[in-house]
Amino acid sequence: DAKTTQPTSMDCAEGRAANLPCNHSTISGNEYVYWYRQIHSQGPQYIIHGLKNNETNEMASLIITEDRKSSTLILPHATLRDTAVYYCIVSRWRDDKIIFGKGTRLHILP
Amino acid sequence: EAGVTQFPSHSVIEKGQTVTLRCDPISGHDNLYWYRRVMGKEIKFLLHFVKESKQDESGMPNNRFLAERTGGTYSTLKVQPAELEDSGVYFCASSPRTGGTDTQYFGPGTRLTVL
């Protein structure tokens, strides 16, 4: 079973920052937080991952709380193409299979 | 660089028939994974190949499902005989190394409908 809790859905205005929360209160010390998304009719797509420190790449930023029990994925300037289901996943680095939960359905509003 | 490709994109079959799904991973990727999403449910792991060997097949639902990866290149997933509950979208993913959830690249999926 997934070890994370996410809101079922969220709306965000186009051009604004989308902040997607995730709770993972039972995360272990050797587990990473990963984010994937699935745009309609496509396969899942990796976004970002982190262990303790905040991370940023060309797609998004990941903010992990100091106690690591929750995190937030930030899409800095959301576009309509960011409409998707976003999955927060907790996994050890050496785990090979991805355990997807229900995710958050993000709607970007024009 | 070509991504992960899957064939067919859609398949409609009748209960009791056989269907074979194909996945071509990214060239050079030793790891190949199968996942599926059945209607209204979450995406679930099925199995993992390292080259031609099955590393983990803990997610395979039953013995009606047979996955192969001869020669360590493309993989096939055969469902025989198909049942109604097998309907869903089957995803394939590949990665260049074992471990590291970030490096899985997914294909577009095959939508299977069993009537």
Q: Which chain B residues contact residue A102 at CB under 8 A?
A: 42
pLDDT at B65 over 90: yes
Residue A96 has its nearest CB partner, among B48, B106, B107, at B48
**A9-43: b (≥16 Cβ within 10 Å) or e:** ebebeeeeebebebbbeebeeebbbbbbbbeeeeb
CA distance A9 to A32: 23
Looking at residue A91, its pLDDT comes to 85
Structure-block tokens of residue B29: 């990727």
Q: Which chain A residues contact residue B45 at CB under 8 A?
A: 97-99
Residue of B nearest to A100 (CA): B43
Chain segment B76-104, per-residue pLDDT in tens: 999 999 999 999 999 999 988 766 656 78
Chain segment A8-64, per-residue pLDDT in tens: 999 999 999 999 999 999 999 888 999 999 998 899 999 999 999 899 999 999 999
Chain segment A58-106, per-residue pLDDT in tens: 999 999 999 999 999 999 999 999 999 999 999 886 667 888 999 999 9
* Max Cα-Cα span within chain A: 40
% of chain B residues with pLDDT over 90: 81
